[in-house]
A and B are shown apart, each in its own frame.
Chain A
Amino acid sequence: MMHENEGRLLAYLDGALGAAERAAVDRHLAECRACADTLESLRAASARFSSAMAVLDIPAPVDAAAAEFARRRREAPSGTAQRALLRAAILILGFAAVGSAALPDSPVRRWIGSAWRGDDRPAGGPEILADSPGSPEDEPAGISILPEGGRARVLVRGMAAEARMRVVLTDGDRVAVRATGKAADARFFTAAGRIEVRGGGPGELVVEIPRTVSNAVVEVDGRPFLVKEGDSFRALVPAEQSGTEAIFATLDPKP
């Protein structure tokens, strides 16, 4: 008696045979113990493989991936050159602020240190955005989300060249981004653990990060710009030629 080969038996097991072939294998299996055993051993090997693969699996990040896919779909058509210029502008602005934060006795450094210690509004430092809005045209647009698992990311993309950005430490439990002036036209998008800001005209963006967030990242156009890890800030700023260099600024511990 000719035995069935394993490939055909596996195709039988997988339902990949046509009706006539399947009937032929059925007839053979009814008479051939060896092939029936082979079929069972293939079934076991198949189950073992499936169960081994399941060990590797993690949940797919469907919602976050769908949001990212939607973003890439929207951005696909054009605007690359313009965005590149805007990116350069915002990186230079950001560099000035964060770079000065790393210098001893700089106003920005004093401001960050004071904010870390919990002062409401350090003298000479940048103004912390008030909760109550001023005149309608100055009314801040904003959006906030809870930091997730001690982590938060704030993303800024394609801001106008005239826009300014500030990073503020707070005692709250929410990461918030507020925009004033024409920056209030910016569009805000949120997803688990992140806020994204895009568009907008001249004005100011204020990023509020609670001190309780152990890990926070502010990204500008996809590049890390400022990282908060525990009690320290790390600013990643453009080097003179290319790439990035890191400036470390450890903040005063909370009293």
Chain B
Amino acid sequence: MDVDSVFRRWYPSLFRYLHRLTGDPDTADDIAQESFVRLLRQRLPEAEAKPWLFTVATNLVRDGARKATRRERLLAIYRPSPSSPPPPDARVEQRERIDAVRAALAQLKERDRQLLLMREEGFTYEEMARAIDVAPGSVGTLLARALRRFSEVYRLQEVGHDARE
């Protein structure tokens, strides 16, 4: 397995998944790094690297392995720095939208959150079934319920936001 090529191919997707899951870019980067380092010790066909990485990363999030991985971290090299930051009103609005999305995500069960975010990263139903240890035939039902639940709570968040305005 060409680990560098696997890294280039899957790091952006894993980072996005972890950032959506944890809400913290440093944690997302730390855990993604740790997952790839652990991949070095595996002898996996390249096709199995992606589900393996995401499963390990999800377990690291769950186990609170952040503290351990942070010790390995050299530094926070990266901070997004938009060349022209949005005006204050737009920033407030964007912040409120992010908070609403995060609040809605937080109201989902952990497994539902994981499934929905894996689906966003293009996982097959078989891969998602293996990741959460359920029958492939039940993934559609779990996903549909999770989508409905998210829509419901997100709409309430938006209604609450509109009422405050």
Contact = CB atoms under 8 A, between A and B. Distances in A.
Contact of B29 (A7, A56, A61): A61
A11 B151 CA distance: 18
A20 to B, nearest CB: 14
Given A53-B101, A68-B74, A45 B147 contact: yes
B60 interface: no
Given A49-B151, A60-B15, A192-B77, A66 B140 contact: no
Among A6, A53, A153, the one with the most B-chain Cβ atoms within 10 Å of its Cβ is A53
Interface string B1-27: 001100110011001100110010100
Question: Secondary structure at chain B's binding surface: helix, strand, loop or mixed?
Answer: helix
Contacts of A53: 20, 101, 117, 120
A55 B37 contact: no
B74 A222 contact: yes
Contacts of B20: 53, 56-57
Interface string B122-136: 001100000000000
B143 interface: yes
A58 interface: yes
Given A11-B140, A57-B16, A149-B79, 9 more contacts: A7-B144, A10-B144, A11-B139, A16-B125, A56-B23, A62-B8, A62-B11, A65-B32, A222-B74
Interface of B: 3-4, 7-8, 11-12, 15-16, 19-20, 23, 25, 29, 32-33, 36-37, 40, 71-75, 77-81, 94, 97-98, 101-102, 104, 116-117, 119-120, 124-125, 138-145, 147-148, 150-151, 154
Interface of A: 5-11, 14, 16, 42, 45-46, 48-50, 52-53, 55-62, 64-66, 68-73, 76, 149, 153, 155, 191-194, 196, 217, 219, 222
25 contacts: A7-B143, A8-B140, A45-B148, A45-B151, A48-B154, A49-B150, A52-B154, A55-B98, A56-B101, A58-B80, A60-B11, A60-B12, A60-B16, A65-B29, A65-B33, A68-B73, A68-B74, A69-B11, A69-B33, A70-B4, A72-B37, A73-B3, A191-B77, A217-B75, A219-B74
